[in-house]
């Protein structure tokens, strides 16, 4: 049920409650995969049946869907551009982690605001090798940080595609986006490669810490 169509964008709450929700029952068996969502969930110490809502955004071709599939321990050999949205929902040990991966094409971005409600963590993915779009991705991130419904929401920025020789380091991206000026929320920039999986675990560990801190 991945890569759902654009016409379903207007009712995110209904979509998750209906059969569009995907439960990855097989992930828990992959104990050796440290990047699995369930291993992340086990680190979240909170009340029973807590839901953690993660919004995964970024420009098109940034690697969001590949990242999501890495987290879910799914095959990443065949990835197609997200024209609508992908949903991954995992339930285990009293936790429910809902990850919304929304397409990043320019025509889709106005629909992002339909998904801001009740977001616990924002994950923003940047193509570190696409320097021509740094200004564009910076503008989109700045607008997200100004959104009232995302006020105070922790943000993790994945500086993706670090496996490419042309990728800018996370420190350069952080400086270019003036991340040091963010004062109203917890934030972190993490180098990663959605293709190899490098850096993803470190980023998600930070997500766990930020959720726990926010709930206290």
| Residue 184, marked binder | no
CA-nearest of 87, 118, 102, 91 to 27 is: 91
- Binding residue per annotation — 67? no
In angstroms, what CA-CA distances link 127 with 62, 69, 134? 5, 17, 8
Is 91 labelled a binding residue? no
- What are the catalytic residues? 105
Asked whether 16 and 1 are in contact (CB, 8 A), the reply is no
Tokens matching residue 176: 């270019």
88 is in an annotated binding site: no
- Kindly report the backbone phi and psi dihedral angles of residue 205, in degrees, each rounded to the nearest multiple of 5, phi listed first: -60, -40
* 118 has binding-site annotation: no
Asked whether residue 32 is marked as a ligand-binding residue, the answer is: no
Q: Is 65 annotated as a binding residue?
A: yes
63 known ligand binder: yes
2 is in an annotated binding site: no
Q: Return the bridge partners of 96, or none.
A: 51, 91
DSSP alpha helix (H) spans, the chain: 12-17, 37-41, 64-71, 134-145, 170-176, 200-215
What are the binding residues for GTP?
58-65, 104, 160-163
What are the binding residues?
58-65, 82, 104, 160-163
What are the binding residues for Mg(2+)?
65, 82
């Amino acid at each position: 049920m991945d890569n759902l169509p654009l016409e379903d964008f207007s009712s995110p709450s209904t979509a998750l409650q209906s059969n569009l929700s995907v439960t990855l029952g097989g992930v828990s068996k992959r104990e050796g995969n440290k990047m699995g969502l369930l291993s992340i969930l086990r680190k979240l110490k909170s009340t029973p049946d807590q839901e953690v809502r993660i919004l995964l955004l970024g420009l098109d071709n940034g690697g969001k869907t590949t990242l999501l599939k890495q987290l879910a321990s799914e095959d990443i050999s065949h990835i197609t551009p997200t024209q609508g949205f992908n949903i991954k929902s995992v339930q285990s040990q009293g936790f429910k982690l809902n990850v919304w991966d929304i397409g990043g094409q320019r025509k889709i971005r106005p629909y992002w605001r339909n998904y801001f409600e009740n977001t616990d963590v924002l994950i923003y993915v940047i193509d570190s090798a696409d320097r021509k779009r740094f200004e564009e991705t910076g503008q989109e991130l700045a607008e997200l940080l100004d959104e009232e419904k995302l006020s105070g929401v922790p943000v993790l920025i994945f500086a993706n595609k670090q496996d490419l020789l042309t990728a800018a380091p996370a420190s350069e991206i952080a400086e270019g986006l003036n991340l040091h000026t963010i004062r109203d929320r917890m934030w972190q920039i993490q180098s990663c490669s959605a293709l190899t999986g490098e850096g993803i675990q470190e980023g998600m560990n930070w997500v766990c810490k930020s959720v726990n801190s926010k709930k206290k």
